[in-house]
A and B are shown apart, each in its own frame.
Chain A
Amino acid sequence: MTTALETRTFLPNREVLAPEGEKRKLHGVRAEELFSVIGAAVASLATTMLIFGWFTPLTGGVGFVVVAYFLFLIFYVMLTSFNGQREEIKDRIVTVLLYSAGFILVSSLLFVVVFTLIRGQDAFPHLNFFTQTMELAGPLDGLDVGGIIHAIVGTLFQIGIALLITIPLGITTAVFLNEIGGNFARFVRTISDAMTALPSIVAGLFIFSALIRTGILQKSGLAAALAISVMMLPIIIRASDVVLRLVPGNLREASYALGSTRWRTVWSVVLPTSRSGLVTAVILGTARGIGETSPVLLTSGITSVMNTDPTKDPMISLPLQVFTFIKSPEPNFIARGFGTAAVLLLVVLLLFALARLIGGKGPGQLSDRQRARVLHQSRLDEYRIGVRAAKRASDNDPLTAANPNEAK
């Protein structure tokens, strides 16, 4: 009995054993870290100014920044080494380097975009820039004459035809890869992966020498659309393939278990489930296709007049128009080039924003309205099934009641 008492579970009195210390902060920045960054920055700036202004004949903005950055790193190491260990110093330096890489990347990419938009402002206030063609604008005319409506129309025609070809073909091929499979599908996937490596200029060269030089087509909007299609097709197949692979297998299996055919399963389960993803794939493909310059350069021809017939005569598009404007030495043409580039950029940004808006959701995630519609539909189904069951029971025919398949 006594041993049992001795080995009894003993509940420690927590308040006595472990007095609760001050709560530790796990997140955020400590004051010491913050001050060493600020201190190093100020010290490096001061030293760089001293070097550039007093000690050496160095000049130039780029050099100043580079020297200041290296001095900052040195000062920062010194400051952290006062009360840090080797590992901690390494960690701090790497963190600074990572932030610098991110800052340089994001700021330079944003700068490319903002630079184009700002330089494009010269052409933007002139309304004629969006309503006229360059047909009547001479090389010395000001920005109040001429515009790029013909290039906008040309882009719409070319990308429209390309989409008419690539959407059905691309998505059906992706469905084939995912839903039917087999050796041939593996072959198709390998080939289309290989084609993502096709340089865009080579796609243009193919259309140029196979269709234009042989006289089958003129340099025209259609030829350009075909060249863009060759570029876009593998992109759309690949993106839709990834999206279709995300459709949960149990949805398909549920459909097959209900006795539906393969076609029904694809049409009513797989495609609706991945709709938003497929739309995103198509929009991203469009954004890539709309900005392609090099295949269009070889196939569409250059013109300054409006052309609404894609089968004959040159038809220019926005990126090619930028390229053409920029080759001119006239300042007004360069201003128009930047204006056109800004329009092109805005179109791409818009498409991308649209893709994010639609494609932000995974497969099967529904908006509130869609969920309400689905709920309503299932209530109707439930009602219908209930009515039929009641009818069957009232029919009181043992044969049909036992075998519901024949009741149809």
Chain B
Amino acid sequence: MTDINGLPIGTVVVANKTFDKLASADSPRPFRVRQPVADIIFRAVARSAGGITVGIMLAVGLFLSINGSQAISTAGFNFLTEQAWQPQAHKFGIAAILAGTVTIAVIALCVSFPLAFGTALLISEVLPAKLKAILIPLVDLMAAVPSVIFGLWGVFFLQANVIPVSQFLSTYFGWIPFLAVTDPQGHHLTEPSAFTSSAFIAGIVVGLMVVPTQTSVMREAFSQAPVGEREGALALGSTRWGMIRAVVLPFGRGGIIGGTMLGLGRALGETIAVYMIISPIFSINWQILQSGTNSVSSLIALRYGESTPFGLSALMAAGLVLFLITMVINFTASSIVARSRSGADS
């Protein structure tokens, strides 16, 4: 922020004593610029606060990269393809845990997207103002519920109630490869213990956790659709759904994509609820209904205590990969939201 002379606002400009003589000669006014002491201190303090913030965050990033790259360089290309996790034997890789993380996040999105999309449209387009005023803070509140509480609910309530559904799905839709539940010999399993602690259950819980974030981003985008265009569509005789399809959805596309991706970022990084529900295994399990899966963050929670220094840097490498993925997703999401017509600032 500068004023018309290109000087920072707030700078005290003291006219030189020779001002009168020079002004008549029609030459540039000489300025003697003096910043007030308070401003000099203020700038220094504010700038150093910014510096400290960046310092902390770069420290985290650099520490992770340096330690992690040590492990990655030892493991080499195997780091991406190896499924086991035995750092002592220098035999470790993120193939299985990353596959598990992505599986859980994708299931979470399948649960959360329809709910978030529907609720966001319901709140912004259908409900009367009174109900709206109740629902908006309610959904925002749910974003603040700690993940350990969702984990509790998942373990003590959802698990028992989802198992029959899983059994049904695997019995009647087992011909779809990822819905089958088989033992290594290929026999179909039906006993309930084969269905506990699965990626499916963890995915549902994580999905419910990310719904509030997605809903509020989408609702924000929908509610900014211009009134003139809405009224135009309605005046041309369209129904409410016709108006939504023609005006609101094209307008809020950035919000839909951005909100979904923000939710995906949170789903990938979720730790404690996943850790409480899944039973960790170190091989890729494509059968989402079957017991046993893994995720990067629950691996860290599981293994940090028993780690040697090298084991720690292996964990950090896994954490670094997760961080990079969520960072790319978040940046893409926020740039999509910002570039769309609806999201000038969010």
Contacts and interface: CB of A to CB of B under 8 A. Distances in A.
Interface residues of A, number: 100
A172 B49 CA distance: 6
**What is the interface residue range for chain B against chain A?**
35 or more
A180 B51 CA distance: 13
Contacts of A356: 137
Contact of A98 (B118, B140, B161, B215): B118
A100 B118 contact: yes
Interface string B231-269: 000000011111010000000000000000000010011
B312 A264 contact: no
Contacts of A130: none
Interface in B141-171: 141-142, 144-150, 152-153, 155-157, 161, 164-165, 168
Interface in B53-75: 53-54, 56-60, 63-64, 67
B241 A319 contact: no
Contact of B331 (A109, A194, A205, A348): A194
B164 A62 contact: yes
A297 B165 CA distance: 33
B122 A201 contact: no
B293 interface: no
Interface in A208-261: 208-210, 213, 230, 233-234, 237, 242, 245, 256, 260-261
Contact of B60 (A188, A203, A290): A203
A294 B301 contact: yes
B323 interface: yes
Contacts of A297: 272, 301
A88 B53 contact: no
Contact of A201 (B39, B153, B319): B319
Contacts of A198: 60, 269, 323, 326
**Interface-centre pick from B122, B148, B152, B322 (highest chain A CB count, 10 A):** B148
B8 A262 contact: yes
Contacts, number: 283
**Interface-centre pick from A97, A187, A245 (highest chain B CB count, 10 A):** A97
B47 A184 contact: yes
A322 B145 contact: no
B145 A323 contact: no
A115 interface: yes
A332 B296 CA distance: 32
Contacts of B137: 356
B240 to A, nearest CB: 6
Given A112-B153, A298-B304, A348-B144, A98 B165 contact: no
A95 B152 contact: no
A63 B169 CA distance: 11
Contacts of A170: 53
A62 B271 contact: no
A192 to B, nearest CB: 6
B89 interface: no
Given A99-B126, A188-B54, A193 B67 contact: no
Contacts of B145: 109, 112-113, 291, 345, 348
Contact of A202 (B1, B3, B138, B322): B322
A185 B137 CA distance: 32
Interface stretch (A34-42, A336-344, A381-389): A336-344
A52 interface: no
Given A101-B119, A196-B330, A90 B152 contact: no
A379 B122 CA distance: 49
**Interface-centre pick from A202, A265, A290, A326 (highest chain B CB count, 10 A):** A202
A284 B144 contact: yes
A105 interface: yes
Given A172-B49, A197-B326, A180 B43 contact: yes
Given A90-B239, A94-B241, A213-B309, A201 B301 contact: yes
Contact of A106 (B138, B275, B331): B138
16 contacts: A101-B119, A105-B139, A108-B208, A112-B145, A115-B153, A119-B156, A168-B49, A170-B53, A188-B50, A201-B297, A205-B315, A205-B319, A265-B10, A293-B272, A351-B144, A356-B137
Given A95-B241, A196-B330, A256-B3, 10 more contacts: A105-B211, A191-B53, A194-B327, A199-B326, A210-B63, A242-B345, A256-B10, A260-B10, A291-B148, A298-B304
